Amino acid sequence: MKLMLQMNVSSYSKIPKGPKIIVANHPTTSDPFILTTMTNGQGAVLIKGILFDIPIFGRYLHWAGHVPVTQTGGKEAFENALKLLKKGITVIIFIEGDTSKFIHKLRKPKTGAIRLALASGFPIFPVGISVKRRNIKSIRSVIKGVQEWGKWYFKGPYALTIGKPLNVRGNIENEPQVKKLSVWLTEKISVLEKESSGRLKR
């Protein structure tokens, strides 16, 4: 990171040791690797399952203990992430469930982060990431006949802002409440992303 990127990090709170849920926007495919360096302990990322089928890279993901999320295996991924939290491992989730479609606008949120927080009782640390669009390099891969585009970020300024920890309470079975909390969390991350973006423009 130090050699390739111009890191610009701002934090409203120190990330503690122990289990927690780090939730961020996802402008580039490089984001998981960067966020795992900031967990203050072991961290596991929820990652699209098909990426685990890439030769060598997929083996690394398994070896590093990351969690595959398949289109039909969302419940299994949730249970695996919950087990990791209970073992004291930090879980990293991208609120949109995929890379951001737009640089400064988040997709409709997934509910996994809020459900994990409700089920585990561990705090959420929201993170807003901003990058320079011109430095994103799109790389196409074909994995088991399926085309995947990676949005890699190998150089340039990379800004992220870590927000204050959020503790959520509620009933995990209350779907309207879970969705409302997920939108609320997305708005928090969006504010942090805009703050990161503002620092890139200085």
Query: What are 75-97's pLDDT values in tens digits?
Result: 889 999 999 999 999 999 999 88
Judged against a pLDDT cut of 70, whether residue 16 lies above it is answered with: yes
Q: Which of 20-24, 29-33, 145-149 has the lowest mean pLDDT?
A: 145-149
- The encoded tokens of residue 51 equal 């990426």
Instruction: From 9, 18, 19, 20, select the one nearest 124 (Cα to Cα).
Output: 20
Q: pLDDT grade, residue 200 (50/70/90)? A: confident
**Average pLDDT in the 2-9 region?**
88
Average pLDDT, the chain: 90
Residue 156, strand partner residues:
5
Domain boundaries, the chain: 5-11+18-200
Q: Is the pTM of this model over 0.85?
A: yes
Q: pLDDT grade, residue 141 (50/70/90)? A: confident
Judged against a pLDDT cut of 70, whether residue 102 lies above it is answered with: no
Consecutive H or E run containing 184: helix 175-200
pLDDT of residue 181: 96
Beta strand residue intervals within the chain, DSSP E: 5-11, 21-24, 43-48, 67-69, 90-94, 124-131, 136-143, 146-153, 156-162
Whether residue 112 contacts residue 78, with contact meaning beta carbons closer than 8 Å, is answered with yes
Judged against a pLDDT cut of 90, whether residue 19 lies above it is answered with: yes
pLDDT of residue 202: 66
**Average pLDDT in the 31-52 region?**
89
Per residue in 53-71, pLDDT (tens digit) is 877 878 888 888 899 887 7
pLDDT of residue 155: 92
Distance of alpha carbon 28 from alpha carbon 34, whole angstroms:
10
* Cα–Cα–Cα angle for 25, 102, 155, rounded to 5 degrees: 70
Instruction: From 47, 23, 30, select the one nearest 111 (Cα to Cα).
Output: 23
Q: pLDDT grade, residue 167 (50/70/90)? A: very high
pLDDT of residue 144: 74
**Average pLDDT in the 2-13 region?**
91
Distance of alpha carbon 186 from alpha carbon 4, whole angstroms:
29
Query: How large is the angle between the packed helices 112-120 and 74-86, nearest 10 degrees?
Result: 40
**Average pLDDT in the 166-179 region?**
95
